Amino acid sequence: MKTIFGLNRMSIILLFFCVFFKATDFEKLRAAYDNFAENDERGLEFVALYIKQAKAESNFKELSQAYRDATSFSENKKLLYADSIIWAAQQSKNLDVIGNAYLTKGSVYYFTYRKYQKALDEYLRAWGYLKNSNNSYLHYKNLYHIGLVKSYLGYYEEAFQIFSKCRSYYQVYKLNDNLPNLKYNTKKGYLNSVNQMAICLFYQNKLDDASELIEEGMRESANDLNFDIERSYFYKLRGVLNFIKKNDKMALSDFNIALIGIEKKRDFTNTSLIYFLKGKIFLRNNQVEEGYANLKKIDSIFVEHRFVLPRVREAYELLIDYCRDTKNAEDELYYTKQLLSFDKILSTDFKYLSGKIYKGYDTEDLIRSKEKLESSSLFGYIIAGATITTCILFSGAKYYQLKQKKPNSGNKKDQSTDPLCLNEKDKLPQKLSKLTDKVVNDILNKLEIMEENKFYLEKGLTQNQLAKRLKTNTTYLSGIINEYKGSNFNTYINLLRVGYAKQMLTSNNEWRKYSIETLAKECGFTNRSNFSKIFIEVVGVNPVEFVEKIQMNRIE
């Protein structure tokens, strides 16, 4: 029976081969497998005909498309086919085709493997080819994927603007009734853009606006089997909304429906988020066993895929607390190590991505582009950020050398060859020269006392506030900090905060159990990302790695 089935199957393939091999209408070749779902490898048998025909005609543009379709149907060879897309695209010499090839490989990294760093690299390569493209579909497709990375990094307002523009563009799907493939692609882009807009609104706590977009997505994806997967994501978002409103039964129902499509797509990112929220629902309803069973699934996904989603980090904290309460020291140690690994990947990803996206995406060319979605002021912020970073790196060592220095006209070092001091002197040529040693000493002594009292741990401390406490003005204070502390005000405060963090992490075992958010808060930083960034620049490693080194030294 199996032999007969096999012959019939081969006969069908040969039939298609005979009918289409000499055809030049590649659309007919694609029509043979259009109804196969993503990751359904049966479609590869028909794609093979497409590949063979494109090779026979040396049509590299179509060959690139054929490999792209193979990437969609393949389960385990997506990257292999993605590389083939790029090879064929390069042979075509067509910039749009080459850009689209890199975009596809980036999507494989992002959606299949959740390798955000590698995905961004490919998206930026694609942008180099597509930023000036006349093909608006590809332009917005690339822009959408860069928006995904923006959203992952937490730039929700900026990402929302990107997705909003994409949504407006992709609404043309309603006009493409006579072009089914184009209609499918643009409607998919439209639904995905609406979904991402709603996610950004959630993180900005604009729940009513998010709810409207969710209903829009549910309505537009209804009664269309082609978009069941996209509809699953709107069920997920509605579940999140019900979770926030504590409509727990409705939330669980939405999450269970969403999981059907999301797990089918093998999207372990959103799967882990759903497990996390389901776990929280069970726990707040005192269903402890079900709650922790869902949280443990997050660790299973982390072990298999080694990816991190910042939103689910709390799962590990809950598991650690649970193990501690139940006196399960072995599991407590395991989940603590897992959390350290989680944080290490998270800090590495954020450091890499945030730097790359500004260097590779927010370029002068993009700012000039009429399609750019960033506000003009952002560029100024980027330049300011780069300047601050340069100051931190340049003056960090300087600060430690000058920290103990007191003003003394007899032993004051020659500043004529010191470029840092020359710069500061140029900024304040008269103000500092008019200050008497008594005034300078008085301010420095007060600063020393305030350092001992750890004034720098106060969140949101400004130079103006400090000047008032020292009974001086900001000009004098700024000049003295620049000259005698070797840095500007912000760098001076941040160096003190990081020094305090290092001291506490080294000497206090309880501090080594703190989350990054808690460490940032205890040290006076406004957020975890800023704390991690400054810590890396000053210490050379992130807080998680610093803790690991301390623990390793203690073990040894």
Mean residue pLDDT of the chain comes to 78
pLDDT for position 289 = 94
Flag whether pLDDT at 293 surpasses 90: yes
φ/ψ (deg, to 5) at 213: -70, -35
Which residues, 6+ apart, have CB-to-CB distance to 484 below 8 Å?
402, 405, 407, 440, 444
d(CA 493, CA 499): 10
Residue 285 has pLDDT above 90, yes or no: yes
Arithmetic mean of pLDDT, 210-239: 93
Gap between the Cα atoms of 409 and 436, Å rounded:
11
Question: How far is residue 20 from each of residues 26, 53, 61, 208, measured CA to CA in Å?
Answer: 9, 8, 18, 52
pLDDT category, 370, cuts 50, 70, 90? very low
What domains can you pick out in the chain, each with its CATH number? Answer: 30-153 (1.25.40), 384-408+425-555 (1.10.10.60)
Give per-residue pLDDT as tens, 60-118. 999 999 999 999 888 889 999 999 999 999 999 999 999 999 999 998 988 788 777 78
Q: So what's the pLDDT on residue 353?
A: 59
d(CA 515, CA 318): 12
Rounded Cα gap, residues 498 and 537, in angstroms: 10
pLDDT at 422: 28
Query: What is the pLDDT confidence band of residue 349, given thresholds at 50, 70 and 90?
Result: low
Give the model's pLDDT for residue 554. 54
Q: What's the rounded mean pLDDT across residues 115-124?
A: 82
Q: Give the C-alpha separation, 243 to 256, whole Å.
A: 13
Q: DSSP for 10-71?
A: HHHHHHHHHHHTT---HHHHHHTTTTSPTT-TTHHHHHHHHHHHHHHTT-HHHHHHHHHHHH
Q: Which residue is associated with the tokens 């790196």?
A: 393
Yes or no: say if 226 and 35 are a contact pair by the CB < 8 Å rule. Answer: no
Cα 493 from Cα 495, distance rounded (Å): 5
pLDDT at 375 over 80: no
Residue 352 pLDDT exceeds 70: no
How much is the pLDDT for 8? Answer: 52
pLDDT confidence bin for 211, thresholds 50/70/90 = very high
pLDDT, tens digit, for every residue of 407-438?
A: 443 443 333 332 223 233 333 333 454 567 77
Alpha carbons 211 and 68: distance in angstroms, whole number: 35
pLDDT bucket at 121, cuts 50 / 70 / 90: confident
Out of 284-293, 320-329, 361-370, pick the least confident.
361-370
pLDDT > 70? residue 401? no
**Residues ≥6 apart with Cβ < 8 Å to 149:** 116, 119, 120, 123, 353, 357
pLDDT band per the 50, 70, 90 thresholds, residue 390: very low
pLDDT (0 to 100) of residue 176: 60
For the entire predicted model, the pTM comes to: 0.53
Most confident segment among 72-86, 129-143, 362-376, 455-469: 72-86
Tokens of 383: 């330049």
| pLDDT over 90, % of the chain | 30
Per-residue pLDDT at 174: 65
pLDDT in tens, 25-71: 777 777 778 778 778 888 888 889 889 989 999 999 999 999 999 99
The winner for highest mean pLDDT among 6-10, 16-20, 113-117 is 113-117
What 3-state class would DSSP assign to 132?
coil
Per-residue pLDDT, averaged over 533-541, amounts to: 86
Q: CA of 480: how far to CAs of 152, 283, 395, 453, 485, in Å? A: 41, 55, 15, 20, 7
Q: Which range scores top for mean pLDDT: 313-317, 403-407, 444-448?
A: 313-317
The amino acid that residue 200 corresponds to is C
Whole-number pLDDT of residue 408: 45
Task: Determine which of 165-169, 421-425, 549-553 has the lowest per-residue pLDDT on average.
Answer: 421-425
H, E, C per residue of 48-61 = HHHHHHHHHCCCHH
Average pLDDT over every residue of 232-256: 95
